[in-house]
Amino acid sequence: MSNVTDTLIKAGLLNEVQVQVALHDQTLHPDMRISEILALRGWIAEETVDFFDLVWAMRIKQTERQPIGQYFIEARLITEAQVDDVLAEQKISNLRFGEVAILKGYLKEETVRFFVQHLFPENLKVKKVSPLSRITQSTHSQAQRRTITNEDTMQQTEGAVAETKQQYQQQRPRPFPPKPAKRKLATRNLLNRLKQQVQSKITEVNKSIQTPETPQKSSNRPAPRPKKPALPDNSFSTSFDLSDADDLDTDDLDLDNL
């Protein structure tokens, strides 16, 4: 078993059975690398195997550390969008980066512990507490604070109610006057409407008496005389129709007596 496969097993990215199958496949296909076989099997990305084979040793020796999320991105174990999601959730829950990534299912607990052990060993001095227990403790403390706050609010509310009752009893407000019955109110409204109608009728009669109708003025102009009927246009004619002059027989005419 090679060093890179041993590292992948310790990081919780592979198990021994998967490594044995990949090594057997490599004997059948000697021209293929172990990273290619593992990627074809769908067990791990080829870039992840290359990271642990070529880059991991250098990252351990470096003195300047980057945020742990950058190492996960470089190893192709998590995307930048997932890192942003973890950071946003980290601000709300006050949990560590690895704890949030585990709870969201982005990384395994063995993988996070492997990275912390080799890159941030000082964080391992803190007492090991699982993310779920930390969330439970945080939720329990928040619930206790809410209970205390609710009790204080209830006490303040009860005190305000008691003080209001005491002030009300001291003032002794007068009872409200009884409201008129609906039937009496309807009768009163009807009488008012009838009075208004009668008053409007009286006003109209007074106006008609004060302004009598004026008689129409008679005109002294005589009636126009009837015009004589005009004669029709075809009653008589002063011209002769010579259209049939060619048909006349001039021999029958007595021209001497004309």
pLDDT of the chain along its 258 residues, tens only? 578 999 999 999 999 999 999 999 989 999 999 899 999 999 999 999 999 999 999 999 988 999 999 999 999 999 999 999 999 998 888 889 999 999 999 999 999 999 999 999 887 755 455 555 555 555 555 555 555 456 666 777 777 777 776 766 666 555 555 555 566 677 777 778 888 888 888 888 888 777 655 555 555 566 666 665 554 555 444 444 444 444 444 454 444 444
Which pLDDT does position 258 carry in this prediction?
45
Phi, psi of 14 (to 5 degrees): -140, 165
Counted residue by residue, the chain has a size of 258
**Distance in angstroms (rounded) separating the CA atoms of residues 112 and 106:** 10
pLDDT, residue 201, reads 83
Residues 6+ apart with CB under 8 A from 135: 93, 95, 103
What is the pTM assigned to this prediction? 0.50
Give the helix ranges, DSSP H, for 42-96. 46-50, 56-61, 68-74, 80-93
Cβ neighbourhood burial of 118 (10 Å; 0-12, 13-18, 19+): middle
* Four-residue CA torsion sign, 87, 88, 89, 93: positive
Tokens linked to 208: 């008609």
Q: Is 15 helix (H, G, I), strand (E, B) or coil?
A: coil
Q: How far is CA 209 from CA 12, 31, 204, 215, in A?
A: 114, 127, 9, 16
Distance, in Å, from the CA atom of 108 to the CA atom of 116, rounded to the nearest integer, reads 13
Within 13 Å, how many C-alpha atoms sit on residue 249's CB side?
2
3-state secondary structure of 107: coil
How far apart are the C-alpha atoms of 45 and 52, rounded to whole Å?
11
What's the confidence (pLDDT) of residue 6? 92
CA distance 162 to 144: 27
pLDDT recorded at residue 157: 73
